[in-house]
Structure 1
């Protein structure tokens, strides 16, 4: 299926680790597109996910920001004119709080709150504690069909335990090459530091030597989903959030659940649902141990979501290019 007109779902990744995870959840992978727009430099993977033909693109290597995401989305729509729904799927930094027991490996999905989008843009200057920041709300509403599917999958997961972990295990069983980077890390690798504790340059393990620097958390109960799925506000900006004090301030003021660096660039070019697997806690103690698994669990959720949508309903949606131009 190399004809670009046969694709109705556009899926954008920021990182290679996310791109690989997305490819693994395709039921069938096709060849390269037979034609792309003359100025389109994107790398694409084409395939089928359930009933739907999906085109997946990744940002250029080393470019993880809003402008790059906008460029990739614009090129995708210029080459694949029939895309009806958009997904931004990958990893992000979680915002644990008293009301949201977010852990590494969980999933956060952008969801409208108070009549506004599930995503807003933030910006700030120096990356140090106690810095100031600004944020601007904007609308980036995915189509109603995606919001309806999201409501349906929430109900499904409340009635019975999801199978995301089993889906990942099945992939890793078939592809041993991915196990080391994409399997779920051990529970002791999930450490939440007190917000005032700054990362030691020698590595997060140095910080963990002193138990007084850690937030003590109980294990999840047997009747709780693990990984858990959260729905709400995602903050997006051009600078990586590594400040636990601002993280907690936004959690208290705005109920932010996740930080990432690309979705804000899609506001005017690619209305989409943003799905993030949590790989760190948006603080100074960042490492890459959880990135592979977080990318996998985000892709697994995205596939579950797509499989709830009948093919004819997507085909009945207005093209994203028409929505944007209108």
Structure 2
């Protein structure tokens, strides 16, 4: 799971628990970056080590899915389900039948850190009741970095500059294994469990993981 980057005023840019994040190639085809903030004469600058698949075949398979979702999601009828939503529903029913709790928690509190250090709870910009059988899917960069994850200012700044949608502190080890085994094609799909790095809010992890797995299954079914 990953930690989403919330937007406190724009519902379209807001990332919430339960959303699906797909690491999507930027202009240089990077999908994941490890960032560190270093002090400079102008304040801070970001130093990065970025990763990209050598073979973009999986993204070519996903592109029609992405385009269809972005074009139809806002106007589709309530009865229409995307493939991953059907997989999510099936997965939840299966796990619940085996007494495994994978339902989303009833609360999704959002907090903001004020300039004086005070932590204040705020409302989500998208106040409408959510249908958790229809998770939002977002496409953009995923990032990590030790001194980034603990600093809200760095995370917000990096999100605005590089279209980073979520942070994850554990993928770098996976990517090291991918490179070590010379795997040329890969895709990173994460479910948002909190607003940090995916490790703090364990109550959301089962549902968020299932959301990500459902979208991954959709891609797998497209492989010839």
Tell me if both proteins adopt one fold, taking TM over 0.5 as the criterion: yes
- Quick one: which of 100, 105, 113 aligns to 1:185? 105
Alignment of 1:117-196 (within 5 A): 117-123=30-36, 134-141=46-53, 143-158=55-70, 159=72, 161-175=81-95, 176-180=97-101, 182-186=102-106, 189-196=107-114
**Separation of aligned partners in 2, 1:198 and 1:274:** 36
Alignment of 1:40-189 (within 5 A): 91-97=1-7, 98=10, 100-123=13-36, 134-141=46-53, 143-158=55-70, 159=72, 161-175=81-95, 176-180=97-101, 182-186=102-106, 189=107
**Separation of aligned partners in 1, 2:147 and 2:135:** 27
Does residue 174 of structure 2 align to residue 256 of structure 1?
Answer: no
Kindly provide the CA deviation profile for residues 89-134 of structure 1, in whole angstroms up to 9, marking residues without a partner as x: xx10111233522111001111111123011112369xxxxxx774
Contact 1:239 1:261 in 2 (8 A): no
**Separation of aligned partners in 2, 1:289 and 1:198:** 29
Contact 1:112 1:233 in 2 (8 A): yes
**CA 1:133–1:288: 2 relative to 1, 3 Å:** farther
Give 1 or 2 for the bigger CA radius of gyration: 1
Number of residue-to-residue matches in the alignment: 201
Contact 2:5 2:166 in 1 (8 A): yes
Contact 1:107 1:227 in 2 (8 A): yes
**Separation of aligned partners in 2, 1:285 and 1:144:** 29
Contact 2:32 2:51 in 1 (8 A): yes
Does residue 142 of structure 2 align to residue 234 of structure 1?
Answer: yes
Runs of 4+ in 1 over 4 A off after TM superposition: 197-200, 220-223
For residue 260 of structure 1, report the CA deviation from its aligned partner. 0.8
RMSD of aligned alpha carbons: 3.4
For residue 221 of structure 1, report the CA deviation from its aligned partner. 7.6
Contact 1:94 1:104 in 2 (8 A): yes
**Separation of aligned partners in 1, 2:161 and 2:195:** 18
Equivalent residue number for residue 21 of structure 1: none
**Separation of aligned partners in 1, 2:6 and 2:138:** 11
Q: Which structure carries more relative contact order (alpha carbon 8 Å, separation 6+)?
A: 2
**Separation of aligned partners in 2, 1:289 and 1:226:** 19
**Separation of aligned partners in 1, 2:134 and 2:18:** 8
**CA 1:157–1:284: 2 relative to 1, 3 Å:** closer
**CA 1:109–1:293: 2 relative to 1, 3 Å:** same
Query: What is the TM-score of this pair, normalised by structure 1?
Result: 0.53
Structure 2: runs of 5+ lacking an equivalent: 39-43
**CA 1:156–1:221: 2 relative to 1, 3 Å:** farther
For residue 172 of structure 1, report the CA deviation from its aligned partner. 3.0
For residue 262 of structure 1, report the CA deviation from its aligned partner. 3.1
- Quick one: which of 211, 218, 223 aligns to 1:304? 218
